[in-house]
Amino acid sequence: MADASIGHIALVGAGPGDADLLTLRAVDRLRAADVVLYDDLASGAALAHVRDDAELISVGKRAGQHAPKQAEVSRLMVAYARLGKRVVRLKSGDPTIFSRADEEISAAREAGIAVELVPGVTTATAAAAFIGTALTKRLVARRLQFITAHEVTGGLPDDLDLAALADPAATTCVFMGKATFPALAEKLLAQGLPADTPAAWVENLGADTRAVTGTIVEIATRLREAPPAGACMIIYGRAISISRV
């Protein structure tokens, strides 16, 4: 049970980076925060809502760069709350999707600290909106699936359900896949996914956003030969119809 005499932790979704896609609840929690621990991709517009006297701490993780370990992030979050602080753990997209929120929720609960989750617009739906497509389509895509294509060592996870991912009647949104998607695409083609399956990547949602579209083979080739510098969301499936590039 949470101890009401100590602080409070809110895991807040910053959305894809656009200021006008923050939820009203997210803005409220940011304005009330004494301490904000934020990821690199969740900074920028969202931090404009934080009070001038609040403490801002970057705990972002970038491939190939030094960053605090998850255990240290959880320790900081709990330590500030134990001082009676209102702590916001600001995450890009939605905090419940591939953000290790489960570890932070567990850390807060084990410390007896109240923890709240504030949903955010996930980068998958924001990417679909940017390129002007629905993720589902009647009689075409009966299923929507989110996966991460990046394991802790940086490679492609070896426990992916390739049969499900090669289902032509599904739309798949790939998080953290720009380095591993070419290898994944090869496996999907070998599993029977048609080579002309529509696909897209959307880079840097929220700032200088860029989209590249084509078939799954073309997207995999582009990612292999000229990978983008920014964070990417990759989407593929028959439901995708491209109206914006």
Q: Which residues are catalytic?
A: 39, 61, 176
Report d(CA 193, CA 191) in Å as an integer.
Answer: 6
What sign results for the dihedral spanned by CA atoms 22, 27, 29, 31?
positive
Query: Closest Cα partner for 81 from 144, 2, 135?
Result: 2
Interior/surface letters 68-84, b for 16+ CB within 10 angstroms, e for the rest: beeeebbebbbebbeee
Phi (first) and psi of residue 114, to 5 degrees = -65, 135
Report d(CA 146, CA 213) in Å as an integer.
Answer: 19
Report d(CA 83, CA 3) in Å as an integer.
Answer: 12
